[in-house]
Amino acid sequence: MIVVAIGKMIIRRMFTLKIKTPLRPSERREKTLLKLLENTLAYVVYFSAILAILSEFMDISGLLASAGVLGLAVGFGAQSLVKDIISGFFIIFEDQFSVGDYVEIGTTMGTVEEIGLRTTKISAYGGEIHILPNGNITQVINYSINNSLAIIDVRIGYEVDINRAETLLEEFLTTLPIGYGGLIDRPTLIGVQDLAVSEIVFRVTAETEPVMQWAFARKFRKDLKVFLDKHGIEIPYPTIMTYQRKEGISEDEQ
């Protein structure tokens, strides 16, 4: 345990040294390699310790010599293990995703907590940890590699002049500074996206930092509501009109 702790401390120290070199890996890749090296160190130390302990009680040369035969015996049963390790190697080598990335793997979405030799750990939104065998990871959607695009539909009632609504939306967009909710560039008003039953739908797009599109959209909608309220424009909502017939009056008289 002491050897593992010292080894991990040395590895972390190596990664904290800010060496200026064009070959220096990115921060996200550093986290992945750091965790992988720590796990590999632990495996090697524990395996070596087991062999050292066994050597005190028996001659392990014969045991090591028979490892080849034993490997053939369990080879077929360990195919999934080998598949997981090879897949894990290519995930890291090809930089498909790294620790800290927000990914979607099958039906699992969340932040990558750890990439090991055999499994990958994903932390979901609710806090649960999904442990996935690397060999089962066949398709990955990585939301953290490139900038994200927020797509927001703004609904305005038909009673509002369409040109005024468009002008106000453009005015609101100009008030949003770079960095607002992770904003990278000025949002774009695409135009009228749809003419719905009770409202005109305008579409706005905005480039944000990776995985910030949802946070930006929430902040955008809140501030837009305040802005529209100041200009006397209400967000449309379903309404019901009722008619009451008075007793003794014909339909024509009503």
- pLDDT tens track for 131-146: 999 999 999 999 998 9
More confident residue, 2 or 158: 158
Q: How far apart are CA 104 and CA 211, in angstroms?
A: 12
- Residue 20: pLDDT band (50, 70, 90) is very low
Task: Provide the CB-side half-sphere exposure for 180 (13 A, CA).
Answer: 19
pLDDT reading at 21 higher than 50: no
Grouping H, G, I as helix, E, B as strand and the rest as coil, residue 218 is: helix
pLDDT at 36: 63
pLDDT reading at 110 higher than 90: yes
In the chain, where the domains are located: 2-70+77-142, 148-230
CATH class, range 148-230? alpha beta
pTM of the model: 0.66
pLDDT reading at 254 higher than 60: no
Task: Give the pair of three-digit tokens for residue 12.
Answer: 């972390």
pLDDT at 23: 39
pLDDT reading at 158 higher than 50: yes
Average pLDDT over residues 187-204: 94
CATH of domain 2-70+77-142: 2.30.30.60
* End-to-end CA separation in angstroms for the chain: 91
